[in-house]
Amino acid sequence: MHIRALAAFVPTSLPTPRRPPSAVLGSVVLTLCAAALWAVSLGQIELGQMTDIGLISVLPAPFFVALGLLTAGFCLTLRQERGRVPLLLLHVGVLIVMLYGAPALIEEMPRFHSVWKHLGVVDYIQRTGHVNPRIDAYFNWPGLFILFAFVSDAAGIQNWRDLVAWTPVVLNLLQLGPLLLIFGSATNDKRLVWLAVWFFYLANWVGQDYFSPQGFNYLLHLTILGILVAWFRVPAGERHPLLTRLGVPDLFARLPERIRRFAPTDLPPPEISPWQRRGLLVVVLALYLASVASHQLTPLATLGCVIGLVVFNRSTARLLPFIMAVMVVLWIRFMADAYMAGHGSTLVSQVGDLDSAVNENATTRMGGSQGHLMVVYARSLMTLGLWGLAAFGGIRRLRHGHRDLTFVLLAVAPFPLIVLQPYGGEMLLRVYLFTLPFMAFFAAALFFPDRAAGTSRWTTVLVGALSVALLGAFFVTRYGNEKMDYATSQEVAAADHLYNIAPPGSLLIVGTTNTPIRFRDYEKYRTRSLTSLLVWVGDAPIGVNLEAVAEVMNNPRVPATYLFITRSQIANDELFGLYPIPLGELAREMAASDLFTVVYADEDAAIYALKEPPSEAAP
């Protein structure tokens, strides 16, 4: 038995004009020129000059010229008939490096504060050889951290700091395989497949591809969906067995042929042997088990998609949702019980709470500086814009006789997650991420709804124009918070110094949690943000002033208390307006005050302690 799940990528004749080999050469030259120009332009970037709209404010013109050249090369390659796939692969590979690799090359340290916490969890498992579910949620879904603790020791890797900065590039490259598998299950028009891939990468602004459980779980999620849509599609005309069993008449078959023609089935499935079917199902279950052990949210999104496929008769793996649901329930009941004991009632109370969902996902995000607000609006616009394009693309594809019900289901299946949990105000972002492949597919279908359509030069021009618009928006939406997301070597050096001097059990107070911290001795220190402590002192909110800060730090129950303020925290405050007075100004006042002593200071960070020791003896 031979399967060609990705047979869509075997060159076939298309009604596009035959082009000479010089066009291939031209595409290669354009790509190489773009890559070279991009690499040179990186040297002109001054991170310190960044404004509140993020990375785009410091990107030089040649950077965008390089992306324009790459886009032109891609659009021209889409029109070529021969040798197209290797060239498209080259373009997409270069695009991924350009879009997702730039921070790794221009920033000194891995970006995004959560990465540092995740390194701390890996470090904990390496040191202790076990997980303590009572520490926090990470230890209740520790699969990825266990994997990296194992790999660290097995491969003799001492320090992940230099490597994790490249995680977005690696994960996006790895996602290309599942994406091709998914898109290839719906069409064998290579233009549509590769344009959908192109749009996916141009529109993936949510930034969940850093070193995180979500990043790796998204790869597993896409692969599971890829397997199901590629090999487990329901044959044309096969009714849902439940409908047959219940004796429900086949109303669709009774429709006149003229009407039925407008609703054809998706591509027919490949035939697979029982051995292959069982083997692929075991693979799906192995991927899902790893996902269940690694992340709270992704398994639920995967389960929702699989349920949708089975209920609407789009998958022959009809028992799969039940097995998956059992896996999730068993994990939550037995492996994450420590977390659920403390948070279960809160989580349950939030189910179906639309007010909370809307408030946390949308309303609270509409704040901060003017620059940051512009970024928020750009994100909203890009999200709605892509969904709008997808809607029109879906309609256009339907009008050309392609139903794509499977993809429609997968595009809408993640939306119920919004009412399930606010997820710290991030659920809308995650829903966007889970729906992105299918939205990108339908957006691409707007230009190539059918193999016979989209052959004019105008289509190429429109694809290029939309790509340029998405590229411009990408650097605002994805890297709009870069001012606070990047970390400097001085910030990390200061954090290292903090861990060197702070006795175990110390309270480490940070201006905001947006800082490289908790990457060492994860369980030995309590880390709290100043804002949260200020709110709770004396059971009432207290104004932000030096006396209030000193009172928070005057904690006799811990061996020592330090206040750690960094450049990225100050940027966080500038973007979001977290403090009534600017955090930077507070830091300057502290440095000049008699209440505090500056334990350590460098260009981008400072550590403060009280001059006088705590007023009460430790119990």
Partner 1 sequence: MIRPDRVWPVAIMLSAAFVGALAVGGAGPPLRPIATLGFLAVCPGMAIIRLLQLEDVLAELTLAVALSIALGTLVAGTMLYVGLWSPGWALGILLGVSVIGAACQLRPARLGSSTEAGSSDDGRMREPPDRPLAG
Q: By CB under 8 A, name the one of 22, 246, 257, 615 that touches partner 1.
A: 257
Residues 345-404 that bind partner 1 (CB under 8 A): 400-402
Contacts (Cβ under 8 Å, ≥6 apart) of 392: 446
Question: Is residue 427 within 8 Å of 350, Cβ to Cβ?
Answer: no
Under the binding rule (CB under 8 A), the answer on residue 129 touching partner 1 is yes
Under the binding rule (CB under 8 A), the answer on residue 295 touching partner 1 is no
Evaluate the CA torsion angle 194, 195, 198, 200 in order and state its sign: negative
Under the binding rule (CB under 8 A), the answer on residue 137 touching partner 1 is no
Under the binding rule (CB under 8 A), the answer on residue 323 touching partner 1 is no
Q: Which of 524, 563, 555 is nearest to 618 (CA)?
A: 555
CB of 505 to partner 1, least distance (A): 26
Under the binding rule (CB under 8 A), the answer on residue 142 touching partner 1 is yes
What torsion, rounded to 10 degrees, do the Cα atoms 486, 490, 494, 496 define? 80
CA distance 229 to 185: 6
> In terms of residues, how long is the chain?
619
CB of 2 to partner 1, least distance (A): 4
Question: Is residue 203 within 8 Å of 470, Cβ to Cβ?
Answer: yes
Q: By CB under 8 A, name the one of 33, 290, 338, 591 that touches partner 1.
A: 290
Q: By CB under 8 A, name the one of 50, 225, 230, 470 that touches partner 1.
A: 230
Sheet-wide strand order for 507-510: 526-529, 507-510, 561-566, 605-610, 596-601
Secondary structure of 229-260 in the HEC alphabet?
Answer: HHHCCCCCCCCCHHHHHHCCCCHHHHCCHHHH
Under the binding rule (CB under 8 A), the answer on residue 154 touching partner 1 is yes
DSSP secondary structure letters along 494-520 = HHHHHHHHSPTT-EEEESSS-SS--SS
CB of 176 to partner 1, least distance (A): 8
Q: DSSP letter at 364?
A: G
CB of 190 to partner 1, least distance (A): 10
Under the binding rule (CB under 8 A), the answer on residue 147 touching partner 1 is yes
CB of 151 to partner 1, least distance (A): 6
Q: What does each C-alpha distance from 526 to 224, 336, 403, 546, 558 come to in angstroms?
A: 38, 22, 55, 22, 9
Under the binding rule (CB under 8 A), the answer on residue 99 touching partner 1 is no
CB of 231 to partner 1, least distance (A): 9
Under the binding rule (CB under 8 A), the answer on residue 168 touching partner 1 is no
Which of the ranges 145-153, 198-206, 305-313, 575-583 carries the binding residues for partner 1, by CB under 8 A? 145-153
Which of the ranges 45-53, 76-84, 285-293, 404-412 carries the binding residues for partner 1, by CB under 8 A? 285-293
State which residue, 287 or 429, has the beta carbon closest to partner 1: 287
CB of 5 to partner 1, least distance (A): 5
Residues 433-492 that bind partner 1 (CB under 8 A): 451
Contacts (Cβ under 8 Å, ≥6 apart) of 210: 110, 111, 112, 114, 115, 164, 167, 168
Q: Which of 131, 302, 276, 280 is nearest to 214 (CA)?
A: 302
CA distance 187 to 181: 11
Q: By CB under 8 A, name the one of 11, 86, 243, 271 that touches partner 1.
A: 271
State which residue, 59 or 196, has the beta carbon closest to partner 1: 196
Under the binding rule (CB under 8 A), the answer on residue 156 touching partner 1 is yes
Q: By CB under 8 A, name the one of 29, 36, 40, 157 that touches partner 1.
A: 157
CB of 386 to partner 1, least distance (A): 24
Question: Is residue 387 within 8 Å of 437, Cβ to Cβ?
Answer: no
Which of the ranges 59-67, 267-275, 405-413, 468-476 carries the binding residues for partner 1, by CB under 8 A? 267-275
Under the binding rule (CB under 8 A), the answer on residue 131 touching partner 1 is yes
Which of the ranges 20-28, 49-57, 277-285, 516-524 carries the binding residues for partner 1, by CB under 8 A? 277-285
Size of the site for partner 1 (CB under 8 A): 74
Question: x/- string (CB under 8 A) for partner 1, residues 170-189?
Answer: ----x--xx-xx-----xxx
State which residue, 316 or 569, has the beta carbon closest to partner 1: 316
Q: Which amino acid is at 33?
A: C
